[in-house]
Structure 1
């Protein structure tokens, strides 16, 4: 048997690829390059998406081996997509395709099997796919989240909720409050509650401009606050926060009472 073998020879099954880029010409170029290297690496493009949300919706229906993803995309960018991929039952290998310069790319190296600078070259794509075949488990999800926040200047747009074997994405913009209960955190939207694998401390650090700490067990969205009232009886709550469009009241601790009232005025 020859010492050197191509990927296609070692694995007769083609690698299933999802291309994620908000620019149609960029997606078309990747398709052409994948065709050009078929002799060395057998692949099959099973789908395309123009943002991270669309990519995750596709992946819930059909798993793939490799995701080729741009960084800058509307609705959900490539870095946030990378964090959510880690929560899938069978996480695919992720290869970034980006127009960022070398300074930014140094950071991406920590978060994907490989990165490809646009315009993507066939030899680099082939090398990246070879790495994908032999990839090791990726970095911790929090490392991906921290890098994405640093680069986009804000936290995630969606939070993952694993429910009955499915990945649900909760839009942060729709969350009225987060409430801690034992090991879990519940996110409340106008429609329902979602149980998240998060901590209040991490959420508070990620969304300091959007959510206020009311109590050791509660964060509330600034936009959801309708007013406050003092508690009538001594107890865990010194006062109560009233919410827009929701019937429940949230406890406010004595320590946070004056703080949150001043923040809400601003």
Structure 2
């Protein structure tokens, strides 16, 4: 099967050079170039509408790095193989020493590109890609800058900095920005573990961006505001007539309940 390729690089000259090299090796390495993208969301839009087998992906890009984009792609139903392309070799030559991925150092040589495409075409193992990307991210101590949202056949990227709060709802987690609400299939605990420096847990079912906590206010007296068990960890019955508190989220009229267990750290955050 002839592989279908997508070039992703924020620099137009770099994309043009790769396209020219692909043209040069077309006879010895048959392929189809399905398009080019200058940033992550453009790449996702192409992949959502056009079958893409291999992505030639720049590592260093503004807004979202190639590594983070590759992680999002690895979570899709049929992820393409990734060939990283970069002008920097201080970490990648060792980090990408795996069978399912390859790494090309700019300026790319035609023979090396052809070899990488043939290799990626036969080694597109999804588990290996995921393991390799996780290892790379850990070695670089990279924290994600976007959430992936599956919506109407597309994969959308929502910047972490735009998220006001996340709340667990049945099988999904609702992700709230100033503009709208999205649904993602992640657990609050895993998000808190990864992004605990940016979000504070206010309830067992809710995380709020620390930067979005505008203040707190008392909840209606006697209301079951925190929704937690009727007994404490020590088995003592909780008095529901005690006052409870709610978080005031920047830019929103709705309030999020604060559980008694999380109240001390929320109060400390507000007082900072």
Normalising by the residue count of structure 2, what TM-score does the alignment of the two structures yield? 0.83
- In structure 2, how many angstroms separate the alpha carbons of the residues matched to 1:75 and 1:208? 21
Aligned positions of 1:103-118 closer than 5 A: 103-110=91-98, 113-118=101-106
Residues 15-72 of structure 1: per-residue CA shift (max 9 Å, x gap)? 3211111222222221222122222111232211122222112222322221100100
Separation in structure 2 between the aligned mates of residue 143 and residue 235 of structure 1, nearest angstrom: 46
Alignment of 1:255-266 (within 5 A): 255-266=261-272
CA–CA distance in 2 between the matches of 1:87 and 1:221?
24
Match of 2:233 in 1: none
Q: Distance in 2 between matches of 1:102 and 1:17?
A: 26
CA RMSD of aligned residues (A): 2.4
Q: Is 1:195–2:183 an aligned residue pair? A: yes
Residue 38 of structure 1: aligned partner: 26
CA deviation digits over 1:110-153, x for unaligned, max 9?
495211122212222111111222123224758736743653x5
Matches within 5 A, 1:102-141: 103-110=91-98, 113-139=101-127, 141=130
- Which runs of at least 4 in structure 1 moved beyond 3 Å after TM superposition? 87-90, 109-112, 139-150
- TM-score, scaled relative to structure 1: 0.85
Instruction: Give the aligned partner of residue 63 of structure 1.
Output: 51
The 5 Å alignment of 1:5-44 reads 11=1, 13=2, 15-44=3-32
67-76 vs 182-191, which moves further: 182-191
List runs of 5+ in structure 2 lacking aligned partners.
227-243
Structure 2 distance, partners of 1:148, 1:54, is: 22
Q: Which runs of 5+ in 1 are unaligned?
A: 1-10
Tell me how many residue pairs correspond in the alignment: 253
